[in-house]
A and B are shown apart, each in its own frame.
Chain A
């Protein structure tokens, strides 16, 4: 059996009269790039928010790296090893790029208030470690030269990269990216793609929500397609894009020939 990083089953979530998710599940193997796609309003982000603890599900079971976790508190999910980015970038806008990444190290470091006040050797060493690792990560995503820039002054694509660096700083077992390519131009998308491939080569598992079908199809090992809160297809991208239910969800019924051309 494959080495499973994240196993989620039977997730239901209802907002008032709307069943946003019905019996959604996902199983992600270590080292793969997993895509979660679907038309607008299909429940992708809702599902994302459920597994990262932002929304409380009505039901569902959650297992990370073989250990069950309960996504009730956001910071505990990050502690357990899922780091996420946001669809509409949420950096700490007035902090520098470096400080943003350093905040990401918070969850893996331990200095207390007393340590900070006394500035003992352990605290100072830890602080040096935090800084060094953060600079490394900025280098890794290719924005080291902007380390001392205010996060909000970075170019859009660089802000996305910074958000990824900050997430990586938490040493995640699973990196969950919510539409990282949204609003990017073709060049930026290409650069993002090679960054994600590099992360994947470094054995970090990625869960990707994406609208850009081309990106998902080229990058992902496996995808799940959601529509109206239900899973309509699971499998390798090549297989899924021939699935009639998927084609119908994206293009509506009666466009089969157009769909095959697009695919």
Chain B
């Protein structure tokens, strides 16, 4: 009977169906992938989620507010180190007074560490953002690049005279995530399924990623999102409309950094180990490449870019050698070399054929000229 179904229009019903289908795929994904390629691939899926979060955060700064940031990985580092320091034996083994306060070592609840990591990252965002507000484009990129490197070098050298970060050796024995008594560090069984830790982390990161997407979509379509877009289009006109450009830009830096902070804390828990090596300039550039490749400012594009660029090296790593062994009997090109070659090639192709990214934002509103197949009239 028709009346049994909720009265939904065909469009909405299709949307619901698509959502359910996507959810089913995402839930089944680690089992399929794990079955085909083992846990290494599930791990790659979990990392993809972390990169998607990073890309979404950077997209707020670069895509929405138009502020080119080349030091974004610094916020990932802040989140990672906050978690690492507050949920590992490192601090209590180096500082007697902390050991006294926490005789069992520092193992602070994740419900506290994540907000703290996010908050500190946001604070770092404001701290780095405030001095560079007047800079634009290339200049902004160079200064933020500097800040990113400063953060890494800071972590690298903060092992003397007080050993806070343990320098280049990094921090080990970081607690796994523990939520509602579920220890993500051990396999858990659920409805008769044995779920190894990587699967658990994948699901956790997936939930966080979905939350991040919702936050981004809502921010974009809000008073604040419009203000960002206005600043990106014409800063002076935006000011003349009463937008406090300084605050709105700082808010973009802070919100973007928050994503980096949460993602970093998760990275730390997932790896159980952090060191400054994970936060090099190259990482900032990869995250930026993700959003540029996908489509700056367009959330679906950003997702696509992040997924492609974080899965691609993993797929390559696991296929290049066997495929070459099969074809030639020996390895001709190393996976790492091939990856850089393909990156370069892809970059040239994208620049030539899809300068706005693989999945750019559709044009805002109606443009009668482009429908007629002409170029838009220039402003007088």
Contacts and interface: CB of A to CB of B under 8 A. Distances in A.
Contacts of A75: 239-245
Interface-central residue, A84, A90, A113, by most chain B CB under 10 Å: A113
B225 A116 contact: yes
Contact of B367 (A99, A104, A153): A153
Contact of A106 (B241, B376, B377): B241
Nearest to B221: A116
Interface-central residue, A84, A107, A112, A153, by most chain B CB under 10 Å: A153
A92 B233 contact: yes
B374 to A, nearest CB: 11
Given A93-B233, A153-B376, A148 B241 contact: no
B163 to A, nearest CB: 37
B110 to A, nearest CB: 21
B226 A103 contact: yes
Contact of A119 (B218, B237, B241): B218
B217 to A, nearest CB: 10
What class of interface size applies to chain B in its complex with A? 35 or more
Interface in B202-259: 215, 218-219, 222-227, 229-230, 233-234, 236-245, 251, 255
A112 B244 CA distance: 13
Interface in B336-380: 363-369, 376-377, 379-380
A149 B365 contact: yes
Interface in A57-107: 74-75, 78-79, 83-84, 86, 89-99, 102-107
A166 to B, nearest CB: 7
A170 interface: yes
A94 B297 CA distance: 13
Interface string A104-131: 1111010111011101000100110010
Contact of B241 (A89, A103, A149): A103
A256 interface: no
A133 to B, nearest CB: 13
Given A106-B242, A149-B367, A183 B233 contact: no
Contacts of B229: 92, 95, 99
Contacts of A90: 234, 236-237, 240
Contacts of B238: 92, 103
Contact of A93 (B240, B368, B379): B379
Contact of A92 (B223, B234, B380): B234
Nearest to A74: B239
B243 A148 contact: no
Contacts of B240: 52, 54, 74-75, 78, 83-84, 86, 90
A130 B224 CA distance: 13
B343 to A, nearest CB: 30
A14 interface: no
Interface residues of A, number: 49
Contacts of A126: 223
A95 B233 contact: yes
Contact of A111 (B224, B234, B364, B365): B224
Nearest to A107: B242
A103 B243 contact: yes
A92 B225 CA distance: 14
Interface string A173-190: 000000000010000000
B237 A106 contact: no
A97 B243 CA distance: 18
A109 B241 CA distance: 12
Contacts of A95: 226, 229-230, 233, 364-365
A218 B223 CA distance: 40
A166 B241 contact: yes
Interface-central residue, B227, B229, B240, B367, by most chain A CB under 10 Å: B240
A159 interface: yes
Nearest to A171: B242
Interface string B39-81: 0000000000000000000000000000000000000000000
A250 interface: no
Contacts of B376: 150, 152-153
Given A111-B224, A130-B223, A159 B241 contact: no
A156 interface: yes
A149 B377 CA distance: 13
B230 A103 contact: yes
Contacts of B380: 89, 156, 183
B364 A150 contact: yes
Nearest to B252: A113
B227 A113 contact: no
16 contacts: A79-B242, A83-B240, A86-B240, A90-B234, A91-B379, A95-B230, A106-B227, A106-B242, A106-B243, A111-B224, A113-B224, A117-B219, A127-B223, A130-B223, A159-B379, A167-B241
Q: Which 8 A-B pairs have the closest CB atoms?
A: A107-B242, A78-B242, A96-B365, A116-B222, A74-B239, A92-B233, A90-B237, A111-B223
Interface of A: 52, 54, 74-75, 78-79, 83-84, 86, 89-99, 102-107, 109, 111-113, 115-117, 119, 123, 126-127, 130, 148-150, 152-153, 156, 159, 166-167, 170, 183
